[in-house]
Chain A
Amino acid sequence: MTVPTLAELTAKGETPEIVFWVGCAGSFDDRAKRVTKAFVKILNATNTKFAVLGNEETCTGDPARRAGNEFLFQMQAISNIQVLNGYGVKKIVTACPHCFNTIKNEYPELGGTYEVIHHATYLQQLINQGKIKLTDTNSFKGKKITYHDSCYLGRANNIYEAPREVLQALDADLVEMKRCRTTGLCCGAGGAQMFKEPEKGNKDINVERAEEALATGAATVAVACPFCMTMLTDGVKSKEKEEVKVKDLAELIAEAQGL
């Protein structure tokens, strides 16, 4: 696995096609790190010229803004923009819908304007371009998969079809949950909820969602967000259905390609 940093490439006088924005979860969370690696393997396999920021990357500030700490958000945002603009970054791909939303929608008015693509869309593009070829003997063929819409991809940015097209490329049996697309139920982690215990209630949101996912009878719950990954994995675990796997789109594609 080769993971070039933007600093290395720049030192060699090279410019990457895309900058892969890893995000905090993708960098530090053990489960999300596997998604990061799966996506890097895909980038390597498709000979995509990419770079990461490595230690120069910091939190986009999304949870700070949503928790109300605008100062902290803007400190993060403006620092990141300085780094990105310093390298003259044009195109960013990220596997985190929160990073995606923040950089795409909230950085421009602070001086950071880039083409920002979520990895669901990027994977779909690679498939459409024929750079990812899936054989019809892949392990997901005909298997039931359900897709959980991430709020920050779906309602927040109207990306509903790209992740589904990626799953269809696996030739899997895509089954929808009752609440999907515009009415998809949140995993419970958005709006900085990821970083605190839920308020008092009679049920955890992730358990409610996991039940709905399990009710489809799918063997795999596909996600496209590291927070959804954590929440649904915990939800499925609480229902003692560990034979049902929660996986990111990048992992499914990498696995189907034997990467």
Chain B
Amino acid sequence: MIVQQLAFILVLATAAFFIRKRVLLIRNTIKLGKERPVTGRKRERLKNMLLIALGQKKMFKKIIPAILHLFIYAGFLVINLEVLEFLVDGILGTHRIFAPWLGSFYTVLMNVFELLAVAVLLACVFFLIRRNVLKVPRFWTAEMTRWPRLDANVILFTEIVLMTAILTMNAADQVLQTRDSHYTATGSLFFSSFLIPLFENLGTTTLLVIERFAWWFHIIGILGFAVYVTYSKHLHIFLAFPNTYFASLEPKGYINNMPVVTNEVKSMLGLGTSETVTGEPGRFGAKDVNDLPWTSLVAAYSCTECGRCTSECPANQTGKKLSPRKIMMDTRDRLEAIGKTIAAGGEGLNDGKTLLNDYISKEEINACTSCNACVEACPVMINPLEIIIELRRYVAMEESRSPAQWNSMFQNMETSFAPWKFSAADRFNWAND
């Protein structure tokens, strides 16, 4: 027994080590972002988090995936209670330590877990079919290259395997309860009982091996999955919460002000500046991830690549290169690349690459109509438009390389105070036409 306990603690410590390393790395890359004070209106922020992250309100715009997703989500939340028992058992060398304490309620609880395990299993099978057989278009657009597609399938497949392990374990356990006093009575477990015929004719030793194997497989699977999640799009299960909390509360049409510019404009117009800005103004707009507000970086890690944004994007729907999902994926890829070199003591941001041009092209950002369809579509309140605007700001103000027609528009506005080339003196002529 003691060997199992030690092995368990070792496995746990290994997982904790890797998870901690990844969490710190992710945190460090997020900290590269520009300051963006998120202050006040805590009640509204909390409400968004509870309704949209916890309550999944925005998922329900598409009812079928919403229900399937709800199964997996509920399964994840509830079955993790069982993992708690796994942890205590693993460390103390006990078996189903909660069973005697909870009595018949334990039976109810285990049956609920099994129901959810079956629901998760079925939902994952449906999701695999939707992705790979029905080929729902948003899972097959240009940015859904090999890794993003594989990532999704790995997650779904792992969940199926983990749920199968639970059911197998419970079935073997129920047979063992009739043979070995170490196996505490759980009462009848509905779903795994269907598997009992597979096991009841096996010898006790074989059963013990099967039950232990399933137990270990499940807990190592879960810990391994927890490490994997930090590398995967699946990180949304945690980051959806902070992301909905930090998301903008302004009307979607609002674009953030640049106080540095306000000061310069006011002094150009001969108006006193109200605030003094100290220190380097930094870049105007964003060329790389460190020019983006940190909230956009949290958003990039929160994206689960569902593609609802892209399937609603008018530019994408009409064959333009822009895909809001790709904007988020590129931002995260860039962060991951920087994080990797920083972890290796390398150059980090100074690797000769930038988010603009090396990851996101001008053609993409120039195609955006700022219609907010992507922002509206995102189930976890990610805002790709904010990144697009920051990149455009860099191109316009630092490079002066906006599309030629935009430069003409700027010129018209400067000379005749309208985006078109009309004389300012003719503005009121309409009244006399």
User: Which A residues lie at the B interface, using CB under 8 A?
Assistant: 1, 3, 5, 22, 24, 26-29, 33, 36-37, 40, 52, 54-55, 57-59, 61, 63-72, 74-76, 78-79, 82, 101, 105-106, 109-110, 151-152, 155-158, 182-183, 185-186, 188-205, 208
Contacts and interface: CB of A to CB of B under 8 A. Distances in A.
Interface in B406-433: 406, 408-410, 413-414, 417-420, 422, 424-428, 430-431, 433
B430 A151 contact: no
Interface string B193-229: 0000000000000000000000000000000000000
A79 B269 contact: yes
Given A58-B424, A68-B397, A190 B370 contact: yes
A55 B319 contact: no
Contact of B369 (A37, A61, A68, A193): A193
B220 to A, nearest CB: 44
Given A58-B424, A74-B265, A202-B318, A196 B405 contact: yes
24 contacts: A64-B413, A66-B255, A68-B394, A70-B284, A71-B265, A72-B410, A72-B413, A72-B414, A78-B271, A105-B251, A106-B257, A155-B253, A182-B376, A186-B314, A190-B371, A191-B368, A191-B369, A195-B409, A198-B367, A199-B366, A199-B367, A201-B367, A203-B319, A205-B317
Contact of B430 (A26, A156, A199): A26
A101 B268 CA distance: 26
A205 B369 contact: yes
B210 to A, nearest CB: 51
Contact of A155 (B252, B322, B367, B410): B252
Interface in B343-399: 363, 366-373, 375-377, 389, 391-397
B74 to A, nearest CB: 26
Given A59-B419, A70-B393, A183 B424 contact: no
Contact of A197 (B317, B395, B405): B405
A186 B318 CA distance: 11
Contacts of B397: 68-71
Contacts of A65: 255
Contact of B372 (A54, A59, A155): A155
Given A67-B396, A70-B393, A75 B268 contact: yes
A69 B414 CA distance: 11
Given A76-B413, A157-B252, 14 more contacts: A24-B419, A24-B420, A67-B402, A68-B393, A71-B264, A79-B269, A155-B371, A156-B252, A190-B369, A196-B406, A199-B321, A201-B320, A202-B319, A208-B317
Contact of B427 (A54, A196, A200): A54
A151 B376 CA distance: 11
B433 A33 contact: yes
A197 to B, nearest CB: 7
Contacts of B430: 22, 26-28, 33, 36-37
A64 B370 contact: no
A63 B392 CA distance: 12
Nearest to B363: A199
Contacts of B419: 24, 59, 63-64, 194-195
B322 to A, nearest CB: 7
B19 interface: no
B251 A156 contact: yes
A70 B398 CA distance: 11
A151 B371 contact: yes
A74 B410 CA distance: 12
A1 B433 CA distance: 11
Nearest to A100: B253
Given A75-B269, A198-B320, A199-B367, A186 B424 contact: no
B266 A68 contact: no
A76 B409 contact: no
Contacts of B258: 70, 74
A186 B393 CA distance: 22
Contacts of A75: 265, 268-269, 414
A59 B424 CA distance: 10
B418 A27 contact: yes
A140 B285 CA distance: 49
Contacts of B395: 68
Contact of A200 (B254, B320, B394): B320
B424 A55 contact: yes
A195 to B, nearest CB: 4
Contacts of A68: 285, 389, 391-397, 402
Given A71-B397, A157-B251, A183-B373, A109 B413 contact: no
Contacts of A198: 318, 320, 367
Given A37-B430, A106-B254, A156 B261 contact: no
A55 B372 contact: no
Contacts of B319: 200-203
Contacts of A185: 314, 317, 373
